[in-house]
């Protein structure tokens, strides 16, 4: 079930919230948690019920192992085995075909169906295992090991189950175990609802619109079409906006939903396209994933403590893994590798030179981040090269005749054409339409504060401007695009 | 919570008011509306038995009333607009102008039979009705009224601003020079074979999509056509179905033709089927499989007119 569907908003959510607080008020917090777990499992099973046993088994197994970790003297061995087991399951479902193809390119594919959210709930539980092995005192507020019910509530909690944020057990479990969790809090309910509705707008109104523009260009490039300069750039700029609005919209919806249940999730996006350098970008983009890789991979590898050469290796390994986490395909590895390289170059530069002026740093960061989205989206090497060829102007620069007629000097650089065939709906007015939409989208991401930095008044104004369009898309759009991050 | 509810209510009110009274798309939807109104205006001036062609753009591009009228010896109006314009809207607009003895020829595109209701409800006619033709909207079911109120997305807002600015600036669609225009009967003219050369590579690559016979039988458009055929029968109007033009290398399957024919025959309406089932070589087309070039349009129209003659005399 997806957050931006009628079934979820009109059916699942009201029933789940009402049942949770009714049980909390009239029965007990334990019953409310049981209800929450049941709802979360139903939410998960909606997509593919056959994968529900895998989630349940994973939760029970990891809780059992974690309990063992608390009491055993051989923590390191148990931890290694448990992490290995989690990664083996993840590897089988997500990477079996990819690895098989590397080892034996001609072998028939296994066609393993990827269980929804496996990357997220696997990482979530690895965090819990590692934290338990480190005996973090903050693991539970009462210094008690969480019960299976509390643990299951934490892992399966539907707001973050499918696509994150990847929350820290030490941040969330104490909130879930809090005695007043299941008592309604009007402030949290209204704040949560407001954030949810704003996230819904980002997804339905903005992300899906830019997704349509991006698909036209990238699909054409994938089929070997020679995109001209503006077609290629507009598709890439649209994709950069689509993935931001899609995933940050999803994260806002998740944060809002959790808030309705009196649980505070950490910030996951902090206006990443306003970053002034690539390291800053990664402090703002998918913050919880970046935090996971930093604390559970990069730092255990040695981080920056073992000298610059080792640090470079650690950065590259971390970012390559980060890329691979997004999917079992070379385009994600290339994307991760590119970002790793950019971080290494940035660190090297900062050792030798002073920081660039903020404006220049911002522009340069934005440019490389946008360029790196090309391999992430294109899917095939031919598609990547085709898109870069177009962006470099090697397939020519074409503009609609009406634009050239309005600005005659453009004739010196652009061929006048009736329509650009790979731009939007390929209509006479597609060029000004997409230009205006891109201008609007980039103005939003570059100049406005994000939902979490807005004043309360600004949030309500934003809701006023977006709610009707969200409802239009929710109830009347003939096609609902899934969240991009569901595939990861 | 009160502030959220107020913001939501304000949003809906502003949206509804903006699209009902303020925002407009004078170029794209304006052109469609102008086409509809122009053919209806012609229809209003004719007080004798007439032939009306209702379809998508296959009507004006592949049929020529200018050629058909003299052969069947009655005035002909080419009232096809675009495949996206709702059939219920088109029928509702034309019903008051159809009288006993009139003939309606329906060479509908296959997509018009199978277009889902949710898509049809949000077609360009929804916005046109909300902004300029509320009388027709009022005559349609409540579902259509609500859909018309919520037919516009953010792109529509953006396009409204752009089109209003361009229209104010006297913008003219540059495609007119490469596509041709319309004559007084509603026929598209000037889309010559020479101009079609510009579209040769596009035409060569088009792979037409044909809905299955089952999709045609159960399609929402089929339901609307059935309703219209019953209305026509009850009001002394002779309705005749037909096949749209298309590539000879991409024929409509026998099952689908049978399904289309059955829609009309089941309601005792006529059905016109040329020996070639309106299939022509790609060289006879202008820019899509629904648009013949001008020479082929005239030849096809002569063939259609000849086939219409024996069907015209039968009482509805």
* Residue A326 annotated among the catalytic residues of the structure: yes
Q: How far apart are CA A3 and CA A110, in angstroms?
A: 31
Which of A326, A339, A346, A362 is labelled catalytic? A326
Q: Which of B47, B96, B93, B53 is nearest to B72 (CA)?
A: B53
H-only helix segments in A167-307: 169-176, 186-201, 208-222, 229-260, 278-284, 287-293, 299-301
By Cβ distance, the residue of B7, B121, B150 closest to A464 is B7
pLDDT digits (tens), chain B, 316 positions = 889 999 999 999 999 999 999 888 888 888 889 999 999 999 999 999 999 999 999 999 999 999 999 999 999 999 999 888 999 999 999 999 999 999 999 999 999 999 998 888 988 999 999 999 999 999 999 999 999 999 899 999 999 999 898 888 777 766 666 678 899 999 999 999 988 887 787 788 788 889 999 999 999 999 999 999 999 999 999 999 999 999 999 999 999 999 999 999 999 999 999 999 999 999 999 988 899 999 999 999 999 999 999 888 655 4
Contact B1 A189 (CB under 8 A): yes
Q: What residues of A are in contact with residue B158 (Cβ under 8 Å)?
A: 433, 436-437, 440
- Cβ–Cβ of B122/A428 closer than 8 Å? no
This model of the complex carries an ipTM of 0.83
Contacts by residues A393-401 (CB-CB < 8 Å, ≥ 24 positions apart)? A393/A228, A393/A229, A395/A226, A395/A227, A395/A228, A395/A229, A395/A232, A396/A228, A396/A229, A397/A228, A397/A229, A397/A230, A398/A228, A398/A229, A398/A230, A398/A231, A399/A230, A399/A431, A400/A428, A400/A430, A400/A431, A400/B174, A401/B174
Q: Quick one: closest CA in B to A402, which residue?
A: B174
Where are the domains positioned within chain A? 6-184, 190-276+356-487
CA gap A402, A409 in Å, rounded? 13
What's the CA gap between A441 and A71, in Å, rounded? 53
Cβ–Cβ gap B150/A471 under 8 Å: yes
Task: Measure Cα distances from B185 to A367, A391, B47 in Å.
Answer: 54, 47, 15
**CB–CB contact A428 B3 (8 Å):** no
**Per-residue pLDDT tens for B45-55?**
999 999 999 99
Question: Is omega for the bond preceding A165 within 30 degrees of 0, making it cis?
Answer: yes
Query: Taking the CA atoms of chain A, what radius of gyration do you get in angstroms?
Result: 24
Cβ–Cβ contacts within 10 Å for residue A282, how many? 23
The answer to whether the beta carbons of residues A315 and A347 sit under 8 Å apart is yes
SS3 call for A439: helix
From residue A37, how far is each of A55, A141, A244, A283 by CA, in Å?
12, 21, 30, 32
Predicted confidence at residue A140, as pLDDT, reads 45
Give strand pairing partners of B122: none
* Rounded distance between C-alpha atoms, residue B199 and residue A153, angstroms: 60
Please enumerate in sequence order all residues whose Cβ is within 8 A of that of A252, keeping only pairs 6 or more positions apart, or say none.
Answer: A195, A196, A198, A199, A202, A451, A452
**Rg, Å, chain B Cα set:** 20
Chain B residues 9-68 with CB within 8 Å of chain A: 10-12, 14-16, 27-28
Say which DSSP state A328 is in.
Answer: S
Residue A287 contacts residue A166 (beta carbons within 8 Å):
no
Q: Which two tokens stand for residue B248?
A: 């000879």
Query: Is B32 in contact with B81 (CB distance < 8 Å)?
Result: yes
Q: If we measure between CA atoms, which residue out of A219, A225, A235 comes closest to residue B202?
A: A225
Task: Give the pLDDT confidence score for residue A141 in this predicted structure.
Answer: 46
> Could you say which residues of chain A have pLDDT below 50?
137-138, 140-142
Number of Cβ pairs closer than 8 Å across A and B? 95
Provide the b/e sequence for A215-254 (b: ≥16 CB within 10 Å). bbbbebbbeebebbbbbbbbbbbbbbbbbbbbbbbbbbbb
Q: Which of A400, A402, A472 minimises the CB distance to B150?
A: A472
Distance CA A131, CA A125 (A): 10
A463 → closest Cβ in B8, B121, B122: B8
- Work out the burial of residue B95: count CB atoms within 10 Å of its CB; fewer than 13 is exposed, 13-18 middle, 19 or more buried: middle
Q: Which of A226, A241, A454, A476 to mutate to test the interface with B (most CBs of B within 10 A)?
A: A476
Using a CB-CB cut-off of 8 Å, the residues of chain A touching B220 are none
Residue of A nearest to B152 (CA): A472
Of the candidates A205, A475, A478, the beta carbon closest to that of B154 is on A205
Q: Is A370 in the B-facing interface, judged by CB distances under 8 Å?
A: no
Alpha carbon dihedral A88, A92, A94, A95, in 10-degree steps, equals 90
* CA distance linking residue A2 with residue A480, whole number of Å: 10
DSSP, residue by residue, A14-51:
HHHHHHHHHHHHHS-HHHHHHHHHHHHHHHHHTT-GGG
Nearest CA in chain A to B149: A472
Tokens 């609500």, located at residue: B146
Pick the residue from chain B with its C-alpha nearest to A202.
Answer: B154
- Tell me, what's the pLDDT at A488? 53
3-state DSSP assignment of residue A321: helix
Chain B residue with CA closest to A439: the answer is: B158
Q: Which of B122, B121, B125, B143 is nearest to B85 (CA)?
A: B125
| β-bridge pairing B270-272 and B188-189 | unpaired
Q: Collapsing DSSP states into helix, strand and coil, what is residue A62?
A: helix
Name the closest residue on chain A to residue B163, using Cα atoms. Answer: A429
CB contact under 8 A, B14 and A464: yes
Return residues 428-487 of A near B (CB < 8 Å).
428-429, 432-433, 436-437, 440, 460-461, 463-469, 471-473, 475-478
State the smallest CA–CA distance between residue A286 and chain B in angstroms. 27
Are B79 and B90 in contact, with CB atoms under 8 Å apart?
yes
Nearest residue to A239 (alpha-carbon basis) of A105, A408, A370, A428:
A370
Helix H or strand E segment including A465: helix A456-476
Residue of A nearest to B147 (CA): A476
B197 touches chain A (CB under 8 A): no
Of A193, A429, A469, the CB nearest to B153: A469
CB atoms within 10 A of CB A413: 11
Q: Report the distance separating Cα A295 and Cα A186, nearest Å.
A: 35
Cβ–Cβ of A402/B27 closer than 8 Å? no
Select from B237, B230, B241, B211 the least CA-distant residue to B304. Answer: B241
For every residue of B242-259, which 3-state class applies, written as one string? Answer: ECCCEECCCCCCHHHHHH
Q: What is the pTM of this model?
A: 0.86
Answer yes or no: are the C-beta atoms of A100 and A107 closer than 8 Å.
yes
d(CA A168, CA A266): 9
β partners of residue B189: B181
| CB within 8 Å of chain B, chain A residues 394-433 | 400-402, 405, 418-419, 421, 427-429, 432-433
Does the CB of B4 have a partner CB in chain A at under 8 Å? yes
Share of chain B above pLDDT 70, in %: 97
Which of B314, B274, B278, B305 has its CA nearest to residue B78?
B305
CB atoms < 10 A from the CB of A388, how many?
A: 17
* Interface probe, candidates A224, A467, A473, chain B, greatest B C-beta count within 10 A: A467
User: From the list B11, B161, B166, which residue is nearest A468 (CB)?
Assistant: B11
Best probe of the B interface among A468, A469, A471, by most B CBs < 10 A, is A468
Q: Is-contact B80 B314, C-beta < 8 A? A: no
CA distance B109 to chain A (A): 20
Res B285: pLDDT:
94
As a whole number of angstroms, the distance between CA B88 and CA B143 comes to 12
Beta strands, E only, A381-428: 398-400, 415-417
């Amino acid at each position: 079930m997806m957050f931006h569907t009628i079934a979820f908003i009109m059916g699942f959510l009201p029933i789940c919230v009402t049942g949770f607080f009714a049980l909390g008020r009239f029965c007990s917090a334990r019953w409310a948690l049981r209800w929450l777990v049941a709802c979360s499992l139903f939410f998960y099973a909606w997509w593919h019920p056959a994968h529900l046993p895998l989630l349940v088994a994973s939760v029970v197994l990891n809780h059992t192992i974690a309990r063992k970790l608390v009491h055993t003297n051989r923590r390191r061995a148990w931890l290694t085995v448990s992490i290995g087991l989690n990664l083996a399951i993840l590897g089988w479902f997500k990477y079996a075909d990819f690895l098989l193809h590397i080892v034996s390119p001609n072998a028939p594919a296994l066609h393993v169906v990827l269980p929804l959210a496996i990357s997220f709930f696997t990482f979530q539980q690895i965090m819990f295992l590692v934290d338990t092995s480190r005996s973090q005192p903050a693991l539970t507020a009462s210094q008690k090991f969480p019960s299976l019910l509390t643990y299951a509530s934490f892992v399966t909690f539907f707001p973050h189950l499918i696509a994150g944020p990847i929350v820290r057990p030490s941040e969330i479990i104490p909130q879930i175990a809090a005695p007043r969790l299941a008592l309604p809090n009007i402030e949290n309910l209204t704040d949560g609802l407001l954030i949810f509705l704003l996230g819904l707008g980002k997804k339905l109104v903005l992300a899906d619109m830019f997704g349509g523009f991006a698909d036209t260009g990238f699909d054409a490039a994938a089929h070997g079409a020679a995109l001209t300069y503006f077609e290629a750039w507009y598709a890439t700029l649209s994709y950069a906006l689509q993935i931001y609005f899609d995933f940050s919209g999803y994260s806002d919806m998740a944060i809002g939903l959790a808030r309705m249940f009196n649980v505070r999730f950490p910030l996951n996006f902090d206006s990443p396209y306003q970053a002034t350098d690539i390291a800053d970008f990664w402090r703002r983009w998918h913050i919880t994933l970046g935090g996971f890789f930093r604390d559970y991979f990069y730092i255990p590898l040695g981080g920056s403590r073992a000298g610059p050469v080792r640090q470079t290796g650690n950065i590259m390994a971390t970012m390559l893994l980060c890329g691979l986490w997004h999917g079992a395909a070379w385009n994600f590895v290339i994307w991760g590798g590119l970002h790793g390289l950019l971080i290494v170059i940035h660190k090297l530069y900062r050792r030798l030179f002073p920081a660039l002026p903020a404006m220049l740093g911002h522009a340069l960061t934005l440019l490389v981040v946008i360029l790196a989205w090309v391999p992430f989206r294109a899917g095939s090497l031919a598609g990547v090269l085709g898109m870069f060829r177009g962006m470099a102007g090697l397939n020519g620069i074409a503009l609609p005749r009406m634009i050239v007629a309005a600005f005659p000097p453009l004739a010196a650089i652009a061929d006048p054409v009736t329509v650009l065939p790979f731009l939007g709906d390929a209509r006479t007015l597609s060029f000004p339409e997409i230009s205006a939409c891109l201008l609007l989208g980039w103005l939003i991401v570059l100049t406005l504060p994000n939902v979490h930095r807005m004043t309360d008044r600004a949030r309500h104004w934003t809701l006023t401007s977006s709610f009707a369009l969200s409802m239009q898309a929710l109830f009347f759009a003939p096609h609902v695009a899934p969240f991009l991050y569901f595939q990861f | 919570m009160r502030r959220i509810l107020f913001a939501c209510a304000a949003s809906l009110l502003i949206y509804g008011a903006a699209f009902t009274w303020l925002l407009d798309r004078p170029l794209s939807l304006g052109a469609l509306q102008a086409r509809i109104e122009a053919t209806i205006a012609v229809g209003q001036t004719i007080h004798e038995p007439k032939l009306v062609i209702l379809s998508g753009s296959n009507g004006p591009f592949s049929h020529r009333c200018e050629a058909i009228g003299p052969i069947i010896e009655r005035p002909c109006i080419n009232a096809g607009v675009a495949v996206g314009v709702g059939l219920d809207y088109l029928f509702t607009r034309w019903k008051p102008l159809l009288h006993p003895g009139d003939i309606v020829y329906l060479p509908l595109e296959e997509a018009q039979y199978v277009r889902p209701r949710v898509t049809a409800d949000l077609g360009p006619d929804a916005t046109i009705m909300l902004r300029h033709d509320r009388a027709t909207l009022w005559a349609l079911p409540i579902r259509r009224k609500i859909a018309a109120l919520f037919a516009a997305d953010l792109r529509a807002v953006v396009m409204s601003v752009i089109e209003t600015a361009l229209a104010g600036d006297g913008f003219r669609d540059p495609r007119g020079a490469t596509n041709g225009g319309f004559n007084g009967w509603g026929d598209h003219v000037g889309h010559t074979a020479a101009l079609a050369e510009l579209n040769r590579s596009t035409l060569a690559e088009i792979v037409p999509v044909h809905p299955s016979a089952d999709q045609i039988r159960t399609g929402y458009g089929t339901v609307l056509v059935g309703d219209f055929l019953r209305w026509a029968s009850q009001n002394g109007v002779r309705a005749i179905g037909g096949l749209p033009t298309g590539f000879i290398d991409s024929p409509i399957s026998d099952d689908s033709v049978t399904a289309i024919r059955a829609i009309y025959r089941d309601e005792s309406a006529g059905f016109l089927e040329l020996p070639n089932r309106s299939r022509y070589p790609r060289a006879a087309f202008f820019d899509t499989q629904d648009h013949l070039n001008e020479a082929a349009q005239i030849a096809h129209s002569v063939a259609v007119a000849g086939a219409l003659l024996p069907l015209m005399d039968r009482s509805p």
